[in-house]
Amino acid sequence: MAKISLLKCDDYNRVNSAVKESVHLLGGISSFIKPGEKILIKPNLLAPKEPSKAVTTHPEAVKAVIQLVKSAGATPIVGDSPGGAVRDIKNLWKVTGMEDICTREKVELVNFEAAGSKAFDIGDNNVKRVNFSNAVLNCDGIINVPKLKTHSLMAFTAGIKNLYGCVPGLMKVEYHKLASKNKDFAHLLANIYLFLKNKIRFTIIDGVLAMEGNGPSSGEIRRLNVIAASADTALLDAVMLTSLRRDISKSEIFKKLMISKKDTDGAEIIGNARQDFNFENFKFPSLRKLDLMPKPLIKILGKFLWVHPEINEDVCVKCMMCKKSCPANAIYKIESGYPRVEDKKCISCFCCHEMCPYKAVDFAKSFLAKIFIKED
């Protein structure tokens, strides 16, 4: 079983040494990369947000990985496909700090959409063929550098969910529509992970400043002070989730990948011990409390237990990013210029909540949902 490295790091000025020490503990960069290889470093670049907002992987963590890859005699490139409706990739690179570090390190930043893509049957029941960017397909290996955050649909995003960014642009929105239920989307993510698994050399999670609450873009910053790494992305995610006191037996991703608490309990942790961190009282998205309810009860309560997005016009700036990100075409513009959600069409994927740059998408809940989903 692969080792899991956990290292304390409470400052991005010290993240360079923490990242390098993590990889050293796992066996050193030369055990993962050969000279002459082309290695894609894949951060989470969801949206054009400054590093201090904890929405994207911190550039200092990416810089440390770039330097490691170079030290192994390989060529690093850096890239990610942001949320589907983000069009200005150059602005995103600038705001997230990626342009600055890649210029200074003389490393190519790759536009996943411009690189073209190729479709594959990855054995998913809902999305018959999945497109991957050629930037992903044409590299020799991937180093996955996600941000640790909550996610309103999936509860949690780290190593596995970060790989969804290997699908270019608006195709992500399309696949969301085809795999709209929580279980179907979880299986799609698991299948994408399995398809890319042999290319992933290791995953290193930026959890120094993480995000809790209603992430992945509108949550609250939570200082976890952890850099976590492993050659086994799925086990690493599972260990982080259980460390944050989440029952992984309810996760459709881990059910599909057949990872249980027994695996996380038996994982070999190196570096710092779990108890060296303050993982207590981590707030998961309020909506995901529904996952913890018994399935038969959810079935019985069915249509009385709903949550839909609702636009907060006090905050909304009418940019229509939500409309462009909606896989179900459930958002339309009203005469005043504000967006409205057509509840009948809405598939409750919460992409609008994820992609709204102004935190203007709230959750409207039924009477019963209000009882079961109390905000912390």
Contact between 351 and ligand SF4 (CB under 6 A)?
yes
Which listed residue (68, 352, 369, 373) binds ligand SF4 by CB under 6 A? 352
Which listed residue (135, 253, 326, 369) binds ligand SF4 by CB under 6 A? 326
**What angle (nearest 5°) sits at the alpha carbon of residue 86, between those of residues 190 and 311?**
90
Contact between 356 and ligand SF4 (CB under 6 A)?
yes
Q: For ligand SF4, which is the closer residue by CB, 227 or 351? A: 351
The tokens for 89 are 């990739």
Which listed residue (15, 139, 321, 369) binds ligand SF4 by CB under 6 A? 321
Three-class secondary structure of residue 163 per DSSP: helix
Contact between 55 and ligand SF4 (CB under 6 A)?
no
Q: Give the separation between CA 294 and CA 283, rounded to whole angstroms.
A: 20
Total of chain residues touching ligand SF4, rule CB under 6 A: 27
Q: How many CB atoms lie within 10 A of CB 362?
A: 16
Q: Give the separation between CA 367 and CA 222, rounded to whole angstroms.
A: 30
CB-based burial, 227-251: b 16+ in 10 Å, e otherwise:
bbbbbbbbbbbbbbbbbbebebeeb
Contact between 240 and ligand SF4 (CB under 6 A)?
no
By the 8 A CB rule, do 24 and 236 touch?
no
Which listed residue (196, 341, 369, 373) binds ligand SF4 by CB under 6 A? 341
Contact between 131 and ligand SF4 (CB under 6 A)?
no
Q: How far is CA 16 from the centre of its chain?
A: 22
Residue whose C-alpha is closest to residue 122's, from 107, 110, 108, 137? 137
Q: For ligand SF4, which is the closer residue by CB, 149 or 324? A: 324
Which listed residue (339, 363, 369, 373) binds ligand SF4 by CB under 6 A? 339
The tokens for 100 are 């600055």
Contact between 173 and ligand SF4 (CB under 6 A)?
no
Q: Give the separation between CA 119 and CA 113, rounded to whole angstroms.
A: 13
Smallest separation, CB 300 to ligand SF4 (Å): 24
Q: Give the separation between CA 70 and CA 304, rounded to whole angstroms.
A: 56
By the 8 A CB rule, do 101 and 71 touch?
no
Smallest separation, CB 101 to ligand SF4 (Å): 28
Contact between 331 and ligand SF4 (CB under 6 A)?
yes
Q: For ligand SF4, which is the closer residue by CB, 144 or 348? A: 348
Q: Give the separation between CA 342 and CA 334, rounded to whole angstroms.
A: 11
The tokens for 340 are 């409205």
The tokens for 241 are 């989730």
Contact between 309 and ligand SF4 (CB under 6 A)?
yes
Smallest separation, CB 151 to ligand SF4 (Å): 13
Which listed residue (358, 362, 366, 368) binds ligand SF4 by CB under 6 A? 358
The residue range among 237-245, 249-257, 315-323, 362-370 that interacts with ligand SF4, by the rule CB under 6 A, is 315-323
Q: How far is CA 161 from the centre of its chain?
A: 4
Smallest separation, CB 365 to ligand SF4 (Å): 13
Residues engaged in binding ligand SF4 (CB under 6 A): 309, 311, 316-322, 325-326, 328, 330-331, 339, 341, 346-352, 356, 358, 360-361
